[in-house]
Structure 1
Amino acid sequence: MKKSAERERLPRSALVLLAAVFVDALGSGLYMAVSVVFLTRYLDLGSTEVGLGLGVAGAVSFALLVPTGILADRAGPRRMLIAAHVARAALLACYPFASGFVPFLCVVSLLAVADRAASPLVQGLFGAAVEAGQRVRAMGMARSLQNLGLSLGGLAAAGALLWDSDGVYLAVVYGNSLSFVLAAVLVTRLGAGGAGGGRPLPWRRRLAVFRDRRFTVLTCLNSVVSLHVTVLTVGIPLWVLAHDELPRSVIAWTLVLNTVVVVLFQVRATRGIETAEDGGRALRLSGLLLAVGCCALAATGALPTAAAVAVLLGAVAFQAFAEMHQQAGAWAISYDLAPEDRRQVYLAFFSLGNAARNTYGPLVVTFLVVQRGAVGWLLLGALALGSGAWAARAGRPPAAPGAPPAPAVSLTDVQGETHGTHP
């Protein structure tokens, strides 16, 4: 049944949503590559002001993520996503006039709230647009297109940086703003379907996610396993910079390799991943792959240059596959355990793990890699391995009260077992 579901064509609404995701990513990739230069050169902000503003914006978006999820359950993710895209477009259009730290802080904080809310809203819309057996696959396609769009936008921005003029930076900012307008237009073409909002719920039910221990545990464990993001963006660059024998250009190679692998194989990594139990096993595999990659990185410091570069790129390949399986597991868990009438607040709560990782991840990885060296990589791998194993256990459905224990499985039973589509 799962194989036949995977071969089904996605409905038109899902294809429209995929197009919106790609347009959003294209504009975001264009802006991300020049954002710091724009803020420091065009707005004439100091590096300390930029760092402080981004930090405050991150905290504000973190605090408002669950409230926006509650509002989305009432108003509907379609309306909320359109509002988020329009707000992002308007705020970016205001950016060139945000001279001074206080105006910059206001704009960047509101922009961060809209940016942070967009991801669970998109996931909620896919949940309404496609059948349960196709949701994880659809999210895999969205992530592949997102990576492709970010890469193409980044390549276009590289040309903009060569010109190094205020006019070009303004064009990039307004180009990103236009991409959000186009994304909003595409989302308006979605049928309301099951994404039009619901009846008001008592506050006790709206906030029940905070009392859902299983969901909270899996949110935290997924956050730890998702440290593969910080390994790629922080850990590996710091490791390369600390070893003079490694060429600095290898940092760019790692990003390219990761992007190519994810674009090509993310959808394949979602096969057989539908339930929370499947998702827990996917997190276990992700933790194992990341642990292998960390062990490989630990060995690069003692190898000749050519061998070290080869092993480092091999470690990034393991990191990329860890990323893909972690994402598939996260989608399955958050979809399967989110009640239909409170889906958005559950998805928003689950996104808190990623937001928290962006805060503690650089501190953990920096402390382990910079302060502990090769041993730090091994400790980080052990942390990912243990968290993945725990997630596999937490992902299993809780036993019914009074249910008899599962029968013991003999060696003959294992040898004669016929495996299904699950990896």
Structure 2
Amino acid sequence: MYEDLKTQLENVRGCIYYGKEKKLKSELVSEIAQWNKLLKDHQCIIIRLNEYLEWWPIFFAGILNCKRLVILDKEVNPELLTKIKNETMCDFEIWYENESIQSENVESVSTKVLNLKESEIVIYTTGTTGNPKGVVISYNAFIKNQKLINEKFMIENKDVSLHVLNQSHSMGLAFAVLCFLTGGDMYTVNNSLLLYKELLRKKIDVMMLPPNMLITLFDSIDFLEIAQGMKFIATGGGYLAQKYYDLALLKKIHIINGYGMTECVSGVASGSFNETTTNSGVIPFTEIKLADNGEILIRGETVCRKYINGESICDGEGWYHTKDIGHFDNNRLYIDGRLDNVVILDSGYKVCLEDLEKRVLQIEEIKDCNVRYNNNCLNLYIVLGKKENFRIKTIEEKLYFYEHVKIIIVDEINYKKNKKKYKE
């Protein structure tokens, strides 16, 4: 089952750069053997190392040893981390602390033996549309998705790539692994300032980043000149206005905007700069149809089958109900909105407005709140109970899309006017 992967690992080319760190890919591959010994007696491993070079040999060691790998961001809410450990039956955790790799055995609440027939990757949804859910991605589905995506990207071992999305994000994971196995040098950054500096210093061939960062870069004349020499820029997860496609067409910059979600491993459809739509072009072996109410339904070999809690992802006929609303025009897929009270921010975050209210109401000092969405901004009206103890920082800690939230403190909320109306 893993022979093709072993062959690819034997033939990797180039280096990986994480900040000031640099290492040959082949060196990282040679470290897989030592991690094999450490992981062999464990069945489920949580990895919280996505900005460190050591992530790579641990990831591939877990895959080749038929383990369940739970890929998390390096900073996870402790309460959520405990929940994840229990529901994934984790028995080993690896993370970074005090400038070194840490690891420890985890006492699982379950004595069940997984007996996996193939390795599994578990990626958690962001939780912005409700509670975070662990999506179980089988090895075969992941590799199949890799092959199908590269039919679109055609990444070669001479291509230098730049990454912003980390590996705890499904699209970031798929793109990073693809570039590791088939591309050349890789650069990883975690903020827009470092991204811009790397673009000025290095010749980049392929790049993947969220739409909001791409929009920021488009305001720079230097970037437009640099981007003209790139093979492509991949983005996805959010809206990109038509004016940016028009500018890309004028400057002959190749943008690929993808449509997908964690439940489908990564992308299921994509569009290029010379097309007049945000998303189009369904990947091979994938079907997309519209329900009577306009909901987008997806079925295919790379659509995942279950969440970690056992809940089915698809209906009885294998269709995944996305809750996104769309339409086709000249065989092109347009994303029009959502069925529920979920909004998609320019950053790509999907935010459930009802869930946002519930989170904020968990803060002791807040007596009541109401959220309204308007023009990519979340207006959060709050009524304080204990004004003397309230800190804005308390809300920041609850929300990782805080930059899009405008907090407005009021004495009371007029529910006769605002009740159940979330979008202005």
Scaled to the shorter chain, the TM-score interval is under 0.3
TM-score by length of 1: 0.26
The structure in which a higher percent of residues are helix is 1
The structure in which a higher percent of residues are strand is 2
**Greater RCO structure (CA 8 Å; 6+ sep):** 1
